[in-house]
Amino acid sequence: MAKTAVITGITGQDGAYLAQFLLTKGYNVVGVARRSSHYGVATHRLDWLGISNDVTIVDGDLLDLGGLCRIIKEYKPDEIYNLAAQSFVKTSWEQPALTAQATGVGVVNVLEAMRLEAPNARFYQASSSEMYGLIQEDRQSEKTPFYPRSPYAAAKLFGHWMTVNFRESFGLHCSSGILFNHESPLRGREFVTRKVTDGVAKIALGLTDELRLGNMDAKRDWGHAKDYVRAMWLMLQQTVPDDYVVATGVTCTVRSMVEVAFRHVGLDPDQYVKIDQAFFRPAEVDVLLGNPEKAQKTLGWTAEISMEEMIKEMVDADLQRNKSNLP
């Protein structure tokens, strides 16, 4: 019989790719999406992948425990992927209380709904490398101590430990993926990779002549969302639930990522990039570099798409979108 998966955050980047991946595995995919005053649900990412009509969308919000319980009771999922969050670090300083609610307490609401209505389901929590913040080891693994540097990271850390505690206290099948930055043509435009690839596409098409950025020296371990949703699924196929770092094991500066994007269209970034204080943060995570050995050994997972390949794919997608006015 086909398995059922509930995905919170299905309208986001990872939700869309995970839904696509699970559909290819024969799952019934139920996506939880927030009601908005705009007609219908924001399905542009699912539309881009051509799967909007293949998933069931239900109204739900991470802040509403009752609604989550009703969804879990009705669909009795085999697997629950909690991807919903206020996910943008910079916004978390403007809206720390909302971030604590959605990104932190929201996790407990989904865990509680599962405990009450589907205790035999398997649960995935979208934890984040941002929890390492002011890094305590050069290469961060599951054993590296955390040091969150933003309201977002602090909220994620709460969600992470609640996931561990629901596993250890109640014996639920709860796993947490400590995912390093992952991007794709479906990444939100506020994140630096997509901002850059969209900006490069607009410059190449003559729609603008500058790209304003913040800290070009920050380093990230960037992978592709398509690779990373596979790791999420693999975690829930294990008999024993656990926590895993998911990363490429390669880090590079914002500057060199920008270089890859501009060179792809034959342009020189120095002519277009302007440094703007508005895009610096009250506290920075200077460098992240993941050690994915455990995921490689236990899950048989490795990142297949390099940062360079991904950035070129993103620039190409943004050229196409900007030419045809797609969202």
User: What is the rounded CA–CA span in Å between residue 261 and residue 305?
Assistant: 16
Q: Which of 61, 112, 242, 316 binds ligand NAP (CB under 6 A)?
A: 61
Which neighbouring-strand residues pair with 33?
59
Q: Which of 11, 52, 127, 181 binds ligand GDP (CB under 6 A)?
A: 181
* C-beta of 247 vs 254, nearer to ligand GDP: 254
The verdict on 9 binding ligand NAP (CB under 6 A) reads yes
Site of tokens 């990444």? 187
The verdict on 213 binding ligand GDP (CB under 6 A) reads yes
* C-beta of 114 vs 204, nearer to ligand NAP: 114
Angle between the N-to-C axes of helices 254-264 and 192-204, in degrees from 0 to 180, rounded to the nearest 10: 30
CA 309 remoteness from chain centre: 19
* C-beta of 14 vs 204, nearer to ligand NAP: 14
Site of tokens 């960037």? 222
Q: Where are the alpha helices (DSSP H) in the chain?
A: 13-24, 44-49, 65-75, 89-94, 96-99, 106-117, 151-170, 192-204, 225-236, 254-264, 293-294, 307-324
Amino acid at 298: T
The verdict on 249 binding ligand GDP (CB under 6 A) reads no
Q: Which of 220, 224, 226, 264 binds ligand GDP (CB under 6 A)?
A: 220
- Residue 246 host element (H or E): strand 243-246
Q: DSSP for 168-220? A: HHH--EEEEEEEPPEE-TTS-TTSHHHHHHHHHHHHHTTS-S-EEES-TT-EE
Q: Which of 281, 294, 312, 321 binds ligand GDP (CB under 6 A)?
A: 281
Judge whether 198 and 318 are in contact, CB under 8 Å.
yes
CB of 7 to ligand GDP, least distance (A): 20
For residues 295, 304, 316 and 217, what is the CA-based torsion angle, rounded to 10 degrees? Answer: 60
CB of 267 to ligand NAP, least distance (A): 26
Q: Which stretch binds ligand GDP (CB under 6 A): 66-74, 191-199, 242-250, 302-310?
A: 191-199
Q: Which residue is nearest to ligand NAP (CB)?
A: 12
Q: Which of 95, 141, 215, 298 binds ligand GDP (CB under 6 A)?
A: 215
* C-beta of 55 vs 126, nearer to ligand NAP: 126
The verdict on 45 binding ligand GDP (CB under 6 A) reads no
Residues in touch with ligand NAP (CB under 6 A): 8-9, 11-15, 34, 42, 61-63, 83-87, 102, 106, 126, 128, 179, 181-182, 188
Residues in touch with ligand GDP (CB under 6 A): 89-90, 130, 181, 190-192, 195, 213-215, 218, 220, 254, 279, 281, 284-285
